[in-house]
Structure 1
Amino acid sequence: MNSSTSCSPPQLPLICLSDRTLKPGSSAWVKVRSDVRKALEEYGCFEARFDQLSMELQESVLEAMEELFALPTETKQRNVCPKPFVGYMTHNNLSESFGIHDANVLDKAHDFTQQLWPDQGNKGIGKKIQLFAEKLAELDVMVRRLVIESYGVENYIDEHLNSTNYRLRLMKYIAPPDDDDDVASIGVKVNNLKIGHDDVNDSANINVGLDAETSVNGKVDAEANGDTTACAVGGVTGDARVAASDGTNVDAYNANVGVGVGVGVDVNAGVANTGYTKSDGDAEEAKLGLPCHTDKSFLTVLYQHHIEGLEVKTKEDKWIRIKPSPDTLVVMAGDSLCALTNGRIPPPYHRVRVTEKKKTRYAAGLFTIPKAGYIVDSPKELVDEKHPRVFKPFDYIDFMGFYLSEAGRRAQSTLHAFCAVSGE
């Protein structure tokens, strides 16, 4: 496992998971298992060399993304879903993305293309997406097995693997214009109601609305399954649904939301987690394709094409800029994995800052989401005198309901605010 030195810029550990002999029980597996655990405990993420994702498949998905994002806006907006932050989204006029539920299943991938091409779908693109998501899912399963085994609780592996779904998000980013002195008003359009910066999240810097029908009792009647933590929204006009960046890892039924529907990105008054002061927060966030946040998923597997932009924050508050490589993927822990491991694995704060002008950055992320109603809890073997319980067991739906609440969006850490054991 590679590590940074005091004389070189910080880097994420690089772990090879391409060895065809890497099977549970082998000496290579035991070595990699230790490396994965160390990397996740120290950084919350690592780079994985995984050549099972062939160059041919990478290029085919890139071609598919170029074709998808070149579609007219009104066509892209057909990618809708009753689940907030799953579907077509935009942010700050710097990024846009498609969200696909269980994209590793061919029928689900075809359902996505059927939204964009209602008459006949696009089986070619659907198949490319499914094969791509399938390979990312293989890496996800391998890493989760390694993590669970590393803590000696392998008897929970089958239960854990059966408790999740996948969300794939295809993403496109462009660099901000040179003249960025004027920060666009941040706001969203929710069910034809425009909510501006003065209406929502007024002491924080980031607003997000819910793309869901609201019932007469003021509750959201939708299962809000998404991908990463909620992100900032900018300049939504026309009939666009909800604008957000990479989506959000939201699972909530009937989450209580009032007129001020807004979800922060684990932002505490616009200071603690964005890395910016309150005075310059809006201006800096307006330059980001994806604001600083942690994922709410168990695990994220991220593919970057050749344009860099992803940045990860270390425990020392230093930003690591991840350079894309054709044979590596970024594996990142989410809040749910932090809870599952009783706080041993931290979810890293990360953002996307694209600086290469006149170049488009494409990326894709596969997010491992707890199924609706799943109770996230640390195995009893991970709770002892040396490692007292950090988080109370929680229903993932309730967790995401809190995330959508006023208190949740203002919390420095949604996870700790929601279920930390008293005194933590």
Structure 2
Amino acid sequence: MKELVKDPVERKQKNASPLPYHGWVGPCEQVSLLYVGFGVRDASNYDSVKNFAQLMWPDGHPQFSDTIHTLATQMEELNKLVWLMLIDSYGLEEESLKMIYKTLVRMMKYMSPSPGEYKSGLHSHTDKPVSTLICEDQISGLEVEVNDNQWIMLSNLSPSSFIFVVGDPLKAWNNGRLKSVNHRVMMSGDKDRYSIAAFVIPNEGTIIKTPKEFIYDQHPRLFKDFDFMDFFHFAFSDLEKLIDSGFQDHFFLKFRWETAMEEGLELVFQILASSKFNSCFFHEIFLYLDFYN
């Protein structure tokens, strides 16, 4: 991966995509001046990884292709396992969270700041894919917001640890029981940080629906069914909305209001009670998965 970052800028720019954050993103004010990232869509498909490698290196770097494809395949299987654990914990059938998707793998470098600085490597955000698995090196930097503006750093993770992050669509799927937590990367010290993330990106036309088992009198419907790709494009249509930590509630409240209009205005008060102002409503989930040889 370090070899990849050293490629000339004109070669990196070949890693382009019409989908937001699916290709190369260099240092910029909108994301971070310390951030560099590459994207490989459908990374569990060897041809996709091979095509990416051929853009980056004249010889196609077969070793890189083999490594990334193997990692992507294993992370995809791990994600499926976590999904099955969630489904089983609610006593639901596997069909309740079944969708056709591709795994987007992003390879990211966060550069060390100037000596003595504590600087943003990636702004605060919630994930827009359904879920994310993160594999990182031993350099700390990933932080999670546990309360309003209270952050904890995830540190001392073993090399075999993965971090599972609930995305906004997964929160909508289970009617708000799981929280898609705000997280960010903050950099200090003199060492660069490297990480690889696998994002679940449903295919075009996928509708995110809340199963009826999650909807009842004490827990009314919070989210109207929505098209994932419409949501994904909307989420990245305005970077200022994305950077604003209140964006998530701004978007979902739109669906909550439409639902209330359909099901009766008396539901509005219950819906507003479940917004971010009632933090006790949510159960946060950020799973640490350790696998040892």
- Checking the alignment, whether the CA contact within 8 Å between 1:294 and 1:350 is kept in structure 2 is yes
TM score, norm. by length of structure 2: 0.79
CA distance in 2: counterparts of 1:149 and 1:179, whole angstroms = 47
Following superposition, the deviation at residue 120 of structure 1 comes to: 3.7
CA distance in 2: counterparts of 1:362 and 1:401, whole angstroms = 27
CA distance in 2: counterparts of 1:176 and 1:372, whole angstroms = 39
- Correspondent of 1:377 among 196, 209, 217: 209
Structure 1: which 5+ residue stretches go unaligned?
A: 1-64, 181-283
CA distance in 2: counterparts of 1:371 and 1:336, whole angstroms = 13
What is the percentage of aligned positions where both structures have the same residue?
A: 34
Indicate the residue corresponding to 2:99 in structure 1: 162
Deviations 1:38-96 (CA, angstroms, capped at 9, x unpaired)? xxxxxxxxxxxxxxxxxxxxxxxxxxx01111222222222122323211112333110
Deviations 1:293-344 (CA, angstroms, capped at 9, x unpaired)? 0001111100110100000011364211011321211111010100000111
- Correspondent of 2:147 among 293, 311, 315: 315
Indicate the residue corresponding to 1:142 in structure 2: 81
- Correspondent of 1:94 among 28, 34, 38: 34
Indicate the residue corresponding to 2:138 in structure 1: 306
Q: Which has the higher helix share?
A: 2
Q: 1:17-416 residue pairs with structure 2 within 5 A?
A: 65-91=1-27, 92-117=32-57, 119-157=58-96, 160-178=97-115, 287-315=119-147, 317-323=149-155, 324-357=157-190, 359-405=191-237, 409=242, 412-413=247-248, 414-416=250-252
- Checking the alignment, whether the CA contact within 8 Å between 2:113 and 2:189 is kept in structure 1 is no
Task: In structure 2, give the amino acid aligned to 1:153.
Answer: L
* C-alpha RMSD over aligned residues: 2.1
Following superposition, the deviation at residue 155 of structure 1 comes to: 4.2
Aligned residue pairs total: 251
Indicate the residue corresponding to 2:285 in structure 1: none
- Checking the alignment, whether the CA contact within 8 Å between 1:76 and 1:116 is kept in structure 2 is yes
TM score, norm. by length of structure 1: 0.56
Partner SS for 1:89:
coil
Indicate the residue corresponding to 2:265 in structure 1: none
CA distance in 2: counterparts of 1:321 and 1:344, whole angstroms = 24
Deviations 1:21-50 (CA, angstroms, capped at 9, x unpaired)? xxxxxxxxxxxxxxxxxxxxxxxxxxxxxx
CA distance in 2: counterparts of 1:123 and 1:355, whole angstroms = 34
Following superposition, the deviation at residue 163 of structure 1 comes to: 2.6
CA distance in 2: counterparts of 1:401 and 1:174, whole angstroms = 28
With over 3 angstroms needed to count, the CA separation of the structure-2 counterparts of 1:361 and 1:336, relative to structure 1, is same
Following superposition, the deviation at residue 124 of structure 1 comes to: 1.4
- Checking the alignment, whether the CA contact within 8 Å between 2:87 and 2:93 is kept in structure 1 is yes
Structure 2: which 5+ residue stretches go unaligned?
A: 261-267, 272-293
Task: In structure 1, give the amino acid aligned to 2:252.
Answer: H
